[in-house]
């Protein structure tokens, strides 16, 4: 039984590559910050008003930042031929996709989650909103990575790529957005938000099972081009 790529080796490899290009890790965070800053500039810096829409702004910002970072999930592997090599391994593509999704979350979703309270302060988010904000992001961003992997896998290597992937994935993000933003709002209003978080948790569990299957199938379709 010959040796084959181990998933751990791929995990460590990608972490090493990310570390070598660590400047780029800041990009989603910077984008997040910038998008949030657009709203006071475009509408009003009045904290009373900002505080009202802060949950939505932060979540939409997180969504957009995640969308932009998805491109990188498979692109470089596709371009230098390592993706091809991965798909030639005997292990199921499914496992490879799960590792990649986890990596994406660690490098995009998790930092966004940690940065969100800062944005909350800047956008005058009322006190009750901070905990639900962090929890909803913690439960929601992995789902964004899971669903996003499907879009990234379907469009990897497409020259007309660009705008296409967000178009495919955004409708699927809407349930997460609705329940997450409303959980923050519930927190702000002093109401319970556990029901909202429960939905996010359930959706995450469902996507954990289904999304990698779809992503693996999409990768196999994409590599055949």
Partner 1 sequence: MWSALKRLYHQLGSPKWFYEITSRWSPWFLWIGSTLMIIGVVWGLAFAPADYLQGNSFRIIYVHVPAALLSQSAYIMMAVAGLVGLVWNMKMSFVVGKTIAPIGASLAIIALVTGAIWGKPTWGTWWVWDARLTSMLILLFLYMGVMAIYNAIESEEMANKAAAVLALVGSINIPIIKYSVEWWNTLHQPATITLTKKPTMAPEMFIPLVLTIIGLYCWFAVWVFARTRNEILWRERRTKWVKSLLNTGANH
Partner 2 sequence: MPQLDEQNTPKVPTALLSGRALMCERDDRVLFSKLNFDWHEGQIVRISGPNGAGKSTLIRILLGLGASYDGQLYFDGKPMHSARYDFRSELLYLGHQVGIKTSLTPEENLKWLCPGASSADIHTALRKVGLYGFEDVLAQGLSAGQQRRVALARLYLEPKAIWILDEPFTAIDKEGVVQLEQHIIQHAQSGGLVVLTTHHQLAFDVQELALGVQATQEVLS
Give the residues lining the site for partner 1 (CB under 8 A).
150, 154-155, 158, 160-161, 164, 167-168, 170-172, 174-175, 178-179, 182, 203, 210, 214, 217-218, 221-222, 224-225
Choose between 3 and 48: whose C-beta lies nearer to partner 2: 3
Considering only residues 10-69, where is the footprint of partner 2 by CB under 8 A? 10, 12-13, 16-17, 20-21
The yes or no reply on residue 82 touching partner 2 (CB under 8 A) is yes
- The stretches of the chain forming alpha helices (DSSP H) are 7-20, 22-42, 47-70, 72-80, 82-87, 93-104, 110-122, 130-155, 164-188, 194-223
Residue 58 Cβ vs partner 2, minimum distance, rounded to whole Å: 32
Choose between 13 and 34: whose C-beta lies nearer to partner 2: 13
Among 26, 167, 178, 221, binds partner 2 (CB under 8 A): 221
Ramachandran assignment for 125, one of left (phi > 0), alpha (psi -120 to 50 degrees), beta (any other): beta
Rounded CA separation 17/25 (Å)? 11
Inter-residue contact 64 to 35 (CB < 8 Å): yes
Rounded CA separation 11/186 (Å)? 38
Residue 36 Cβ vs partner 1, minimum distance, rounded to whole Å: 22
Considering only residues 154-173, where is the footprint of partner 2 by CB under 8 A? none
Residue 1 Cβ vs partner 2, minimum distance, rounded to whole Å: 6
Inter-residue contact 201 to 76 (CB < 8 Å): no
Angle, CA 102 vertex, CA 100 and CA 108 arms, to 5°:
100
Choose among partner 2, partner 1, none what residue 12 binds, the Cβ cut-off being 5 to 8 Å by kind: partner 2
């Amino acid at each position: 039984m010959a040796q084959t790529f181990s998933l751990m080796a791929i995990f460590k490899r990608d972490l090493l590559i990310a570390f070598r290009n660590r400047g780029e890790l800041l990009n989603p965070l910077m984008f997040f910050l910038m998008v949030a800053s657009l709203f006071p500039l475009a509408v009003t810096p009045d904290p009373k008003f900002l505080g009202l829409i802060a949950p939505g702004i932060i979540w939409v910002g997180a969504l957009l930042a995640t969308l932009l970072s998805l491109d990188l999930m498979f692109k470089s592997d596709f371009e230098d031929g390592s993706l091809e090599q991965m798909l030639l391994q005997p292990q199921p593509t499914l496992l490879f996709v799960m590792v990649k999704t986890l990596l994406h979350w660690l490098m995009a979703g998790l930092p966004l989650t940690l940065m969100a309270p800062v944005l909350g302060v800047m956008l005058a988010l009322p006190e009750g909103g901070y905990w639900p904000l962090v929890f909803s992001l913690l439960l929601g961003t992995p789902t964004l990575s899971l669903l996003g992997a499907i879009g990234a896998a379907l469009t990897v290597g497409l020259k007309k790529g660009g705008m296409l992937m967000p178009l495919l994935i955004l409708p699927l993000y809407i349930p997460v957005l609705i329940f997450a933003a409303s959980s923050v709002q519930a927190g702000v209003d002093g109401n319970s938000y556990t029901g909202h978080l429960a939905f996010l948790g359930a959706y995450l569990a469902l996507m954990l099972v289904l999304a990698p299957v779809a992503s693996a199938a999409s990768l196999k379709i994409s590599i055949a081009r």
